[in-house]
Amino acid sequence: MIAHVLKLHAQPTAWTGWEERVRLMVRPRRFEHVVRVAELAAQIAAANGADVACAYAAGILHDIARDLPDAELLRLAPPECEIDGLHPLALHGRAGRALLERWGYADTVVLEAVEDHTTGPRGDNRVAQAVYIADVSEPGRGVNADIRELALQDLNAALEKAIISKVTYLQGRGITVHPRTLRSYHALPCCAHLTDSGDSGHAAPTSAFQ
């Protein structure tokens, strides 16, 4: 089924077509996660004055490439660093964007949110921030409820907590942090004075790129 969907090129004529395409691309339990992320991202966006429709769309689309084989991920998103090559799952955000662009999806706010949901949002894209937080804290995961609740009150504080928590967790276990995640980390106001000179360790496991 995935191979058949990958051969499609035309952009769906209605939003329901995009949702159906995602449903066909991922496992049933993954799609349940996708819907929860979309709903939570929309709630976070609404609470913080961000674009609710874009947040919902990015939530639905964020994992469109998550269940692709490693070879397809590598084809869609050639590695930028050693982690990408060793663990292609780290590429599923970039691969998802590439796939959507190939199919004619053109909203850059949503595309950036899809690309960045694995490694951390760049710049001031509040839709990307909402999706990143929703992905790590949606109720089905059973973790990070504090980040979820904080995001409904203060998106910036929740993003800071989510990124710091991830980097601290990985570094505490001697796991290499993806360079893109480090850049997001160092872009935080509380971490801007830090450098990545001491960040090293083993290649990141796939669980770091959910």
Q: For residue range 94-111, what is the model confidence (pLDDT) as tens digits?
A: 999 999 999 999 999 999
- Domain range holding 26? 2-154
Report if residue 115 sits inside a domain. yes
pLDDT tier, 190 (very low <50, low <70, confident <90, very high otherwise): confident
Structure tokens at 115: 């690309």
Report if residue 161 sits inside a domain. no
3-state SS track over the chain: CHHHHHCCCCCCCCHHHHHHHHHHHCCHHHHHHHHHHHHHHHHHHHHCCCCHHHHHHHHHHCCCCCCCCHHHHHHHCCCCCHHHHHCHHHHHHHHHHHHHHHCCCCCHHHHHHHHHCCCCCCCCCHHHHHHHHHHHHCHHHCCCHHHHHHHCCCHHHHHHHHHHHHHHHHHHCCECCCHHHHHHHHHCCCCCCCCCCCCCCECCCHHHHC
Nearest 5°: CA angle at 57, between 180 and 12?
Answer: 115
Here the CATH number for the domain that contains residue 75 is: 1.10.3210.10
Predicted confidence at residue 196, as pLDDT, reads 44
Report if residue 209 sits inside a domain. no
147-151, Cβ contacts within 8 angstroms, sequence gap of 24 or more: 148/40, 151/44, 151/47, 151/48
Report if residue 88 sits inside a domain. yes
Predicted confidence at residue 16, as pLDDT, reads 83
Least confidently predicted of 48-52, 77-81, 198-202: 198-202
Across the chain, mean pLDDT equals 90
Report if residue 197 sits inside a domain. no
Place of tokens 């496992």: 27
More confident residue, 33 or 207: 33
Predicted confidence at residue 191, as pLDDT, reads 81
Report if residue 124 sits inside a domain. yes
Strand pairing partners for 202? 175
Report if residue 101 sits inside a domain. yes
Per-residue model confidence as pLDDT tens digits over 127-168: 999 999 999 999 999 999 999 999 999 999 999 999 999 999
Q: How many domains, in total, are found in the chain? A: 1
Report if residue 210 sits inside a domain. no
